[in-house]
Chains A and B, each alone.
Chain A
Amino acid sequence: MNTVLLATDMARALSRIAHEICERNNGASTITLLGIPTRGAHLAKRLAQLIESIEGAPVQVGTLDTTLFRDDLRLKAPRALMPTAIPSLGIEGRTVVLVDDVLFSGRTIRAALDALGDLGRPARVQLAVLIDRGHRELPIRADFVGKNIPTSLTQSVKVNLSELDGVDEVTISGEATS
């Protein structure tokens, strides 16, 4: 097992993403952060705090569960649903920034886009991820990336967050060759 991101690295990456989100959207008044449970939801909360400290104004933040829209439901054991909480202003006409921990095949994001489509029509949708590990199976890319980590398919990437795992770090395990 290899640690590729330490707590300080993660804090710096999130801080940079927060600044990039504000820069790209001319502030934070039009954006709604939606984290994909479980870890994306915590990252979205952290980003919201960082953006609030940069902009000095509250940021709309919520969670979006994609389980019901996944295309691999039949291949796995039944999954419990996670909470979806859309903030007060809704998503209609807003700039939605989806937040997830690891971007891999892109299928979660596809499901998230479908879920958003049922909730309303955002003005635009952007994607922020802490780790991009490659191996996309769909034409999806992230707008804001904490760190690109080339991996092989046999490896697994684990993001640990202090809220859930007691420590902030990203680790890779498994053989590097596929």
Chain B
Amino acid sequence: MKHLLSIADISREEAITILNTANELAKVSDTPMKKLPTLRGRTIVNLFAEDSTRTRISFEAAAKRLSADVINFSAKGSSVSKGESLKDTAQTLQAMGADAVIIRHGASGAPARLAACEWMSGAVINAGDGTHEHPSQALLDAFTIRKHLSHGKEDLAGLRIVIVGDILHSRVARSNVLLLTKLGARVTVVAPPTLIPYGIESWPVDVAYDFDSVIETADVIMMLRVQLERMSELFFPNAREYSRYFGLNKERLSRMAPHALVMHPGPMNRGLEITADSADSARSVILEQVTNGVSVRMAILYLLLAGDTSIEVGA
């Protein structure tokens, strides 16, 4: 594994290796010395062509805990806003000696383009590309679910996971569906028909249009953000109607199984897809997702950068 571009590219075993590595790295956060020398002297560039708080900070924290040098590069305030192409940006980063580029881009496939080309030799990590994938988010979600509900097993076999909301625009949903089913979970997506992507039959999921019908049997309810910025037309009549049919509120929360979890990748539209009391309830692991995000991203950086990836594992 040289790059992390999408969940579709990685095998079940690789995913489990990442989760197990994250589990060990999470312990470092509990020790007085939170820094490891493992990636000392490596340079990691955060190339964010789209807004992000948590993913960028999470990758930055992960890189710094492994002693790597981090250069933050956002489209606003850089030459990208003057019209510099991805190619020129990549070649500049290569000339500066970047060992890895963590890229978020509005165009689906931008990280894959970067990885396939000759413009730079470092590792490419997809931190979210358009409406395609967001692999590190899916891995941290799987890690959080596994920690709470797998009872010591390495995978998520038999768990029922419900993903609710804007499936059409969500890269988080795409990566999660691929990863969670790869790990043996049963995934149901719930959304109004306008927010279900064309061709959903080819996904390994069940589709429901009635949120209330799947609440009691779910082990995890994952709410997605309504991505107002990606919506050019009206996908639902109004916000109040969306909340009424597809929002997580106190009443729906009370019907969940006793062990079931509430998740949200953030940032939340409180009052739209999730009410404040649901987001802050005892079932909610939303802040834990953020904490686990650092450990999972440390694992990704460690596995991609610490060793010589040109040697096959086990060789």
Give B147 Cβ to nearest chain A Cβ, in Å.
15
Q: Check: A82 CB closer than 8 A to any chain B CB.
A: yes
Q: Check: B243 CB closer than 8 A to any chain A CB.
A: no
In the bound complex, how far is the Cα of B35 from the Cα of A84, in angstroms? Answer: 16
Q: Check: B117 CB closer than 8 A to any chain A CB.
A: no
Task: Kindly list chain A residues whose C-beta atoms are within 8 Å of the C-beta of B20.
Answer: 80-81
In the bound complex, how far is the Cα of B38 from the Cα of A118, in angstroms? Answer: 13
Closest to A114 in B: B37
Q: Check: B291 CB closer than 8 A to any chain A CB.
A: no
Tell me whether A65 and B24 are in contact (CB under 8 A).
Answer: yes
In the bound complex, how far is the Cα of B305 from the Cα of A68, in angstroms? Answer: 12
Tell me whether B37 and A74 are in contact (CB under 8 A).
Answer: no
Task: Kindly list chain A residues whose C-beta atoms are within 8 Å of the C-beta of B44.
Answer: none
Question: Chain B: residues with CB nearer than 8 A to chain A?
Answer: 1, 17, 20-21, 24-25, 27, 31-33, 35-38, 302-304, 306-309, 311-315
Tell me whether A119 and B31 are in contact (CB under 8 A).
Answer: yes
Task: Kindly list chain A residues whose C-beta atoms are within 8 Å of the C-beta of B315.
Answer: 77
Give the interface size bracket for A toward B: 10 to 19
Q: Check: A166 CB closer than 8 A to any chain B CB.
A: no
Tell me whether A77 and B313 are in contact (CB under 8 A).
Answer: yes
Given contacts A69-B38, A73-B306, A83-B24, contact A78 B313 (CB under 8 A): yes
In the bound complex, how far is the Cα of B17 from the Cα of A83, in angstroms? Answer: 13
In the bound complex, how far is the Cα of B36 from the Cα of A114, in angstroms? Answer: 10
In the bound complex, how far is the Cα of B33 from the Cα of A68, in angstroms? Answer: 14
Task: Kindly list chain B residues whose C-beta atoms are within 8 Å of the C-beta of A68.
Answer: 36-38, 302, 306
Tell me whether B308 and A120 are in contact (CB under 8 A).
Answer: no
Tell me whether B27 and A84 are in contact (CB under 8 A).
Answer: yes
Number of A-B contacts (CB under 8 A): 58
Task: Kindly list chain B residues whose C-beta atoms are within 8 Å of the C-beta of A164.
Answer: none
A91-118 residues with Cβ-Cβ distance < 8 A to B are 114, 118
Closest to B310 in A: A77
Tell me whether B32 and A78 are in contact (CB under 8 A).
Answer: no
Tell me whether A76 and B311 are in contact (CB under 8 A).
Answer: yes
Tell me whether B36 and A74 are in contact (CB under 8 A).
Answer: no
In the bound complex, how far is the Cα of B33 from the Cα of A61, in angstroms? Answer: 21
Give A137 Cβ to nearest chain B Cβ, in Å.
19
Tell me whether A84 and B24 are in contact (CB under 8 A).
Answer: yes
Q: Check: A1 CB closer than 8 A to any chain B CB.
A: no
Q: Check: A75 CB closer than 8 A to any chain B CB.
A: yes
Give B314 Cβ to nearest chain A Cβ, in Å.
7
Tell me whether B307 and A78 are in contact (CB under 8 A).
Answer: yes
Task: Kindly list chain A residues whose C-beta atoms are within 8 Å of the C-beta of B36.
Answer: 68-69, 118
A16-72 residues with Cβ-Cβ distance < 8 A to B are 65, 68-69
Partner of A77, one of B31, B37, B302, B311: B311
In the bound complex, how far is the Cα of B310 from the Cα of A75, in angstroms? Answer: 10
Tell me whether B314 and A78 are in contact (CB under 8 A).
Answer: no
5 contacts between A and B (CB under 8 A): A65-B24, A68-B36, A68-B306, A77-B307, A118-B31
In the bound complex, how far is the Cα of B35 from the Cα of A69, in angstroms? Answer: 11
Task: Kindly list chain B residues whose C-beta atoms are within 8 Å of the C-beta of A75.
Answer: 308
Task: Kindly list chain B residues whose C-beta atoms are within 8 Å of the C-beta of A82.
Answer: 24
Tell me whether B38 and A80 are in contact (CB under 8 A).
Answer: no
Closest to B35 in A: A118
Partner of B25, one of A77, A81, A114: A81
Give A23 Cβ to nearest chain B Cβ, in Å.
32
In the bound complex, how far is the Cα of B32 from the Cα of A77, in angstroms? Answer: 29
Partner of B38, one of A73, A76, A83: A73
Closest to B25 in A: A81
In the bound complex, how far is the Cα of B304 from the Cα of A75, in angstroms? Answer: 13
In the bound complex, how far is the Cα of B304 from the Cα of A109, in angstroms? Answer: 25
Tell me whether B308 and A80 are in contact (CB under 8 A).
Answer: no
Task: Kindly list chain A residues whose C-beta atoms are within 8 Å of the C-beta of B302.
Answer: 68, 78, 81
Tell me whether A76 and B307 are in contact (CB under 8 A).
Answer: yes
Closest 3 CB pairs of A and B: A78-B307, A118-B33, A77-B311
Tell me whether A79 and B27 are in contact (CB under 8 A).
Answer: no
Give A11 Cβ to nearest chain B Cβ, in Å.
32
Tell me whether B21 and A81 are in contact (CB under 8 A).
Answer: yes
Most buried by A among B35, B307, B309: B307
In the bound complex, how far is the Cα of B303 from the Cα of A75, in angstroms? Answer: 13
In the bound complex, how far is the Cα of B27 from the Cα of A76, in angstroms? Answer: 24
Closest to B41 in A: A74
In the bound complex, how far is the Cα of B237 from the Cα of A154, in angstroms? Answer: 75
Tell me whether B303 and A78 are in contact (CB under 8 A).
Answer: yes
